Structures are given as C-alpha cells and as structure tokens.
C-alpha cells in the first residue's frame, strides 16, 4: 500500500510539473526572445538619435567615437548618404537578432546581436526550472512517504486489532491516529471488542454457573440411583424412582433458568407458590447426604406461607445454602420460615464456626471463598434471588445465618391465622 500511495502521489506531481513546466518554458523562451529584440531595437533607436545630433551639429562621426555606444557583443552598421558605411564590432555569423532604424538626416542604423546569446539565456532558465522541478519532486516524494506511513501504519494496526479479535483477544486498544475515517474504524473495533469481551465473560460465567449448579442436582440424583440399585423392595424402588424423576425435572429447570439468566438476568417467571413444598423437597433431597455425613437437617417456623417467585430458582438458592452448610458448616442444619412485614423469610443456619470476619459481606462476591471452593455458589444464589425480586443476605456470621427474603402474597388458607411453629424431622 505504501508503494501505491507513493507512486500515485509522484505520478500526480509529475503530471503537474509536466503541464506547468512546459507552459513555463514556452512563456520564458518567448519572454527572453522578446526582451532581446527590444534591447536591440532600443539600441538601434538610441544610436540613430546620436548620429542625428552629430549630423545636425556637423560634428565628426567615426567608428571610434561611436564604439562606446554599442555593447561589446553586438554589431552596428551606420549608413550615411554620400559617406562610407561605418561598422562597429564584428558581424555575427549564423542566426541573429536584427533591428534597423532610419534617421532624420537620411542615415540608416542597423544593430545585430547573435541569437546564441538568447539561446544561452534560455538554457540557463531551463536549468533553473529543472532544478525547481527536481526539488518539487524530492519534496513530493518525502511528503508522499510521510503520508503513506501515516495512512499505512494505522491500517496495519487496525488489521492487527481485527486479527486479535478473531483470535479471541477482545481487549480494546483505545488508540487513535488523527485521521477521522481511521479513528471511526478504531472506535467501531473498540466497541466490538468490548461487546465481544462482555459476551465471552457471559459465556464463561454461564459455563461456571452451569457446572456449579448442575453438580448438586446430579449428586443428589446419583444418590437416589445408588439407593435404587442396593434395594430389593419394589415399593422403595418406585418411591426412589419417583423422587429421581422429580430431580430430573428440577435439573431441567436449572438448565433453563441458567440459560434465561445468561440472556437477561432480569427476566423471571415469578408465581405464587407454597414455601412448604419447596422446603420439603429440599429436605428429601439432602437428607441422604447429611445422613452419610453423620449430620441432620431439620425445618421449623411458620407453616403454609405463600411467596412470589420461581419455585425452581428458590429451590436452587436453598440448595446452594444447604450445600454450603454441608461443606463448610457443622452440626445440624436448620431451615426456619418466618414473616417480616410483607415478606416471607427462609433462614438457613448450622452449628459450624461461621463465616470468617475478614470476609464479611464479600461472601457473595464471585471467587470469594473461605475454603478451597469455587466461590460461585453464593454469588449465583444471590443472582437467582434478585431475578425474582427477592434478596439473599447474611444475617449473622457466627453461627452463620443466611436469609432468603421473598415477597409474600395474602393467604387464602384459613390456617394462616393459626399457623404455628413446627419442626419437620
């Protein structure tokens, strides 16, 4: 590209020099020739006037007297009636520039100049014009090289930026070149890089969330299938298979929920649902895991509460809290439901050491974990809660108490006024 820019610029300059140079040569040649003719005419006229004045005053007229009146490179011939012609200088050979002027006393003065002098002057002028043209060409080449570098280097940078985008490096360069068109392209590439970066971040986040959120349902499903393989009672097999099918449905719901949140975290399908059913389902799923760990999981609090949200999302939030207590907590895990204002609250607590003081509210940030874990579970749980208009908070660090707050709907059951604390074991 640099070569094409230089060649095109040089071609334009050469055309301009050729057009104006030829015109200037023609004009200068004619001007020099005209000036030479005017000089000869003027000298002939002046010499004729001198001869007239001497004839009138009857003064002597000779070549020696008039020699100083004629330039050394010119030839003059003065013809006076009745006298011998007077010649001054050497008659030039070849082409000459000649001028003849008659005098008032009948004399005739002829002045000649060799045309070679005009040719030499024209040659000097042509050399000057050629030198100026050469300087113009050199300046044009330098400017063309500079302009080519100014245009080609940014294009090379933009090509490298586009190549980096194609290779999966979406970092914007924020580099501008002072050329509006190229800066516009750089703006578009930087905007594209930022969008690609956000898309890649969302895809990585979806992959991380999916691997984390699917792990728990798959583990629970695996436990159910193991129990089916070791039992020989048909009723137990049917019961466990029914629970496993329900877990598969919830697993499907998890996948759909993750995909929905990856497109727009604000979208949700909130409905009114019974909290008791979600809590009971979580107890059934996690009780085998806690039993294997030699621990217990219980539920207590206000019964028959209805809340507004997505049952699958609420179940995933509770599963994340229960799994967190299983991995990092200790003793019995308790799920307690209560009412505050127009909100239903599900608290999850255990008898473990709690959350380290240096973590505090950062426990919900991604990659933040008190132990060797991914640090994704609580962050995803908070996102799921907020997608349904609820919120997930850490109410107490030692012992740890997490609260899931959901909007509450007026209850249609008559037992709402008679709801009492009851523990499910």
Domain ranges of the chain: 2-141, 166-203, 208-416
397 Cβ contact list (under 8 Å, min separation 6): 354, 355, 357, 360
Residue whose tokens read 């798959």: 218
Other beta carbons within 10 angstroms of residue 4's beta carbon come to 10
pLDDT of residue 354 exceeding 60, the answer is yes
CA distance 99 to 43: 9
Task: Label residue 338 by pLDDT band (50, 70, 90).
Answer: very high
CA distance 300 to 423: 4
Position 205 scores a pLDDT of 64
Say which range, 94-108, 170-184, 202-216, 305-319, has the weakest mean pLDDT: 202-216
Look at 362 and 101; give whichever has higher pLDDT: 101
Q: What is the total residue count of the chain?
A: 425
- Among 81-90, 197-206, 414-423, which range has the highest average pLDDT? 81-90
Position 419 scores a pLDDT of 41
Task: Label residue 349 by pLDDT band (50, 70, 90).
Answer: very high
Look at 93 and 332; give whichever has higher pLDDT: 332
Task: Label residue 260 by pLDDT band (50, 70, 90).
Answer: low
Instruction: Cite the DSSP H helix spans in 264-310.
Output: 275-292
Q: Mean of the pLDDT values across residues 410-425?
A: 42
Q: Mean of the pLDDT values across residues 265-292?
A: 80
Position 210 scores a pLDDT of 63
Name beta bridge partners: 10.
none
| CA angle (215 as vertex; 222, 351 as ends), nearest 5 | 95
- Cα 167 to the chain's mean position, in Å? 16
Position 69 scores a pLDDT of 79
Position 415 scores a pLDDT of 41
For residue 180 the two structure tokens come to 């509006």
Element holding 88 (H helix, E strand): strand 86-88
In terms of Cβ atoms closer than 10 Å to its own Cβ (0-12, 13-18, 19+), residue 310 is buried
pLDDT of residue 239 exceeding 50, the answer is yes
Please give the backbone phi and psi of residue 352, each rounded to the nearest 5 degrees, phi first. Answer: -80, -175
pLDDT of residue 268 exceeding 70, the answer is no
pLDDT of residue 73 exceeding 60, the answer is yes
- Among 70-74, 165-169, 207-211, 234-238, which range has the highest average pLDDT? 70-74
Mean pLDDT, rounded, of the chain: 79
Look at 301 and 212; give whichever has higher pLDDT: 301
pLDDT of residue 278 exceeding 80, the answer is yes
Position 418 scores a pLDDT of 39
Domain 2-141 matches domain 208-416 at the CATH topology level: no
- Among 51-65, 161-175, 295-309, 364-378, which range has the highest average pLDDT? 295-309
- Among 210-224, 236-250, 283-297, which range has the highest average pLDDT? 283-297
In terms of Cβ atoms closer than 10 Å to its own Cβ (0-12, 13-18, 19+), residue 353 is middle
CA distance 86 to 70: 13
- Tell me the three state secondary structure of residue 268: coil
Look at 69 and 88; give whichever has higher pLDDT: 88
Say which range, 150-159, 187-196, 414-423, has the weakest mean pLDDT: 414-423
pLDDT of residue 246 exceeding 90, the answer is no
Look at 242 and 257; give whichever has higher pLDDT: 242
Q: Does domain 208-416 have CATH number 3.30.565.10?
A: yes
CA distance 240 to 316: 21
pLDDT of residue 219 exceeding 80, the answer is no
Q: Mean of the pLDDT values across residues 286-298?
A: 89
Percent of the chain with pLDDT over 70: 82
Q: Say which CATH architecture domain 2-141 belongs to.
A: 2-Layer Sandwich (3.30)
Task: Label residue 413 by pLDDT band (50, 70, 90).
Answer: very low
Position 401 scores a pLDDT of 92
pLDDT of residue 150 exceeding 80, the answer is no
């Amino acid at each position: 590209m640099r070569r094409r820019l230089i060649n095109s610029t040089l071609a334009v300059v050469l055309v301009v020099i050729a057009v104006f140079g030829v015109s200037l040569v023609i004009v200068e040649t004619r001007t020099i020739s005209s000036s030479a003719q005017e000089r000869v005419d003027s000298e002939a006229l002046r010499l004729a006037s001198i001869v007239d004045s001497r004839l009138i005053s009857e003064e002597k007229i000779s070549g020696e007297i008039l020699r100083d009146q004629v330039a050394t490179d010119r030839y003059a011939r003065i013809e006076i009636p009745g006298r011998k012609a007077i010649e001054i200088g050497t008659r030039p050979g070849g082409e000459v520039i000649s001028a003849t002027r008659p005098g008032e006393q009948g004399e005739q003065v002829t002045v000649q100049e060799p045309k070679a002098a005009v040719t030499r002057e024209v040659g000097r002028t042509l050399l000057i014009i050629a030198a100026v043209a050469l300087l113009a060409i050199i300046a044009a080449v330098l400017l063309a090289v500079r302009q080519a570098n100014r245009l080609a280097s940014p294009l090379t940078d933009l090509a490298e930026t586009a190549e980096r985008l194609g290779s999966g490096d979406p970092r914007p360069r924020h580099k501008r070149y002072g050329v509006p068109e190229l800066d516009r392209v750089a703006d578009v590439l930087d905007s594209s890089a930022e969008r690609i970066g956000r898309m890649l971040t969302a895809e990585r986040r979806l992959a991380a969330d999916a691997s984390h959120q699917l792990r728990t349902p798959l583990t629970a499903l695996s436990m159910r299938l193991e129990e089916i393989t070791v039992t020989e009672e048909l009723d137990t097999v049917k019961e466990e298979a029914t629970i496993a099918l329900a877990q598969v449905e919830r697993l499907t719901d998890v996948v759909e929920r993750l995909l929905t949140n990856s497109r727009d975290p604000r979208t949700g399908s909130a409905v009114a649902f019974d909290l008791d059913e979600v809590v009971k389902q979580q107890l059934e799923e996690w009780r085998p895991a806690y039993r294997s760990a030699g621990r217990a999981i219980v539920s207590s609090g206000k019964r028959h509460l209805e809340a507004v949200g997505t049952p699958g999302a609420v179940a995933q939030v509770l599963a994340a809290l229960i799994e967190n207590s299983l991995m990092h907590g200790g003793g019995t895990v308790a799920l307690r439901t209560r009412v505050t204002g127009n909100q239903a609250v599900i608290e999850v607590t255990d008898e473990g050491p709690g959350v380290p003081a240096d973590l505090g509210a950062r426990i919900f940030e991604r990659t933040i974990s008190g132990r060797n874990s991914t640090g994704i579970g609580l962050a995803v749980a908070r996102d799921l809660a907020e997608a349904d208009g609820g919120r997930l908070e850490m109410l107490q660090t030692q012992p740890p108490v997490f609260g899931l707050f959901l909007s509450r709907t007026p209850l249609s059951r008559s037992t709402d006024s008679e709801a009492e604390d009851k523990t499910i074991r």
